[in-house]
A and B are shown apart, each in its own frame.
Chain A
Amino acid sequence: QKEVEQDPGPLSVPEGAIVSLNCTYSNSAFQYFMWYRQYSRKGPELLMYTYSSGNKEDGRFTAQVDKSSKYISLFIRDSQPSDSATYLCAMGSGGSYIPTFGRGTSLIVHP
């Protein structure tokens, strides 16, 4: 079993839909959680960073962490075709600067 599990998709939604992306993890030591967006043939770009359970909102994006269930989510409101990309969750333990990444979920938002 991998430390971080993420469904690879693809997830296909119509423009304007609310998208829910999720990861589960097994390592209780993970303390910080991130979501990256990766366009085809580009490097990952940090979208959201959170250090605690609960919700964090930034524009159309909301990151949610439930440490008791070892489950994190990223919600995208009013999805746009430009949101089509692979979304990677990543997490790490306190004191470690090296995150563990999920395999990524491919998202397709069609007009």
Chain B
Amino acid sequence: GAGVSQTPSNKVTEKGKYVELRCDPISGHTALYWYRQSLGQGPEFLIYFQGTGAADDSGLPNDRFFAVRPEGSVSTLKIQRTERGDSAVYLCASSLLSEDTQYFGPGTRLTVL
């Protein structure tokens, strides 16, 4: 079956602009995670959804970052007033239940000029 998909695969934007990154989890997976991976680093946790609600958003770096999952499936990560330091690969993962294996998508490569 289909894995986790993320769109767009690449996004180039200018400093100060607003961006939305989309994640389509594996069908039926209740848990969804967002991570950020900077060059040469491992993924860093941003936010985790169980169903429609954010169960843990302790990794969001500041209030410019926000994520939603209104119907418990697709999730959107929103970044306001982008900064050059936001440039990274944004990874999404999903799992059937919270305690199960996380399956990662290919990521969205965000470049802020």
* Given contact pairs A97-B48, A98-B45, A44 touches B104 in the complex (Cβ within 8 A): yes
**Contacting B40 at CB < 8 Å: which of A8, A41, A42, A101?**
A8
Q: How distant is the Cα of A13 from the Cα of B28 in the complex, in angstroms?
A: 41
- Closest B residue to A96 by beta carbon equals B56
Number of A-B contacts (CB under 8 A): 47
**Residue B111 CB within 8 A of the other chain:** no
Mostly helix, strand, loop or mixed at chain A's interface?
loop
Residue of A43, A90, A100, A102 touching B105 (CB-CB under 8 A): A43
C-alpha gap A99/B88 in the complex (Å): 19
Mark the stretch among B11-19, B78-86, B94-102 that contacts chain A.
B94-102
How many chain B residues touch A (Cβ–Cβ < 8 Å)?
25
Complex contacts, B56 vs chain A, CB 8 Å = 98
Q: Which of the listed residues A44, A100, A101 has the most CB atoms from chain B within 10 Å of its own CB?
A: A44
A interface, size bucket: 10 to 19
Bound together, the chains give a CA A18 to CA B75 distance in angstroms of 41
Hey, what's the 0/1 contact readout for A72-107 against B, CB within 8 Å counting as 1? Answer: 000000000000000010100000011011111000
Binding site for B on A (CB under 8 A): 4, 6, 8, 41-46, 49, 88, 90, 97-98, 100-104
